[in-house]
A and B are shown apart, each in its own frame.
Chain A
């Protein structure tokens, strides 16, 4: 079967390798932040445990499950495109998008509640708390914020990919862009898998 642009260069393996190299830079980037967290927690253990109780475990758990399901649906989209099921691919991508938006809405309300209680970087209430609490909430906003930024970028990419699937620029013989988008989305999922226990569950 010929692709739409069968004359230009297409290297599935090379593209995927490039994506993995990008994922490694992301792992090291977030890894650095996790190390800052680890040292800060090690130095301020009681403050971190107390501050963590401010976060709602249920909201965190719901968001974890939302991201896990969205990861599964984008993985299923990669299978669907290879099975030449264009409509099913689009449905899976749509579910992924909806779940990503729901995740962000939850995050919005969660951050909103914190900010309403006067807890945000540089706030007066936070300044009155101890050094450990300032560190904890600084890291909380920085790390979940960067993660949310990755979700927003992911939403934009998945939208573009969905249009390409719809226009049949991405199809069963040429789907590496969809596969790479999936890899990116799973990376965002893995980061959250660690953010959740570290910020919500430690007591």
Chain B
């Protein structure tokens, strides 16, 4: 049978606002890495990339509107990746 459950329809305007935010964040990350902040610039650049991907996950990929289960699963995968990264770095830091 055809699905009867209602899906949340996100307005064009919401996507437009998120797009503008993403583009502004891109400019900020370019600008911040052009001025010399030494080791801080990589932290800032990656933090901005993190915020941008959070926006894409939440709005474009509908995690904000979908069942909580999807967000939990994404969080789980990101947690696994973080743990693997930490363990890998522990390995390389004490060679």
Interface of B is mostly: helix
Most B CB within 10 A of own CB, among A24, A65, A75:
A75
A57 to B32, CA, bound (A): 13
Find A27's partner among B33, B52, B70, B81 (CB 8 Å cutoff): B81
A163 at interface, CB cutoff 8 A: no
- Name the residue on A nearest B4 (C-beta): A173
Interface string of A155-174 (1 = CB under 8 A from B): 00000000000000000011
A10 to B2, CA, bound (A): 7
Instruction: Report yes or no: A174 in contact with B56, Cβ–Cβ below 8 A.
Output: no
A203 to B88, CA, bound (A): 24
Q: Nearest Cβ in chain A — how far from B30, in angstroms?
A: 5
A3 to B4, CA, bound (A): 11
Find B23's partner among A16, A38, A68, A174 (CB 8 Å cutoff): A68
Instruction: Report yes or no: A12 in contact with B56, Cβ–Cβ below 8 A.
Output: no
With contact pairs A31-B84, A201-B33 given, residues A65 and B26 touching in the complex (Cβ less than 8 Å): yes
Instruction: Report yes or no: A72 in contact with B30, Cβ–Cβ below 8 A.
Output: no
A13 to B27, CA, bound (A): 37
With contact pairs A3-B2, A203-B33 given, residues A193 and B56 touching in the complex (Cβ less than 8 Å): yes
Interface string of B54-87 (1 = CB under 8 A from A): 0011011100001100100110011011001100
A69 to B48, CA, bound (A): 18
A42 to B94, CA, bound (A): 13
| B1-56, CB < 8 A from A | 1-3, 5, 7, 9-12, 15-16, 18-19, 22-23, 26-27, 29-30, 33-34, 41-42, 45-46, 48-49, 52-53, 56
Instruction: Give the interface of B toward A (CB within 8 A).
Output: 1-3, 5, 7, 9-12, 15-16, 18-19, 22-23, 26-27, 29-30, 33-34, 41-42, 45-46, 48-49, 52-53, 56-57, 59-61, 66-67, 70, 73-74, 77-78, 80-81, 84-85, 88-89, 92
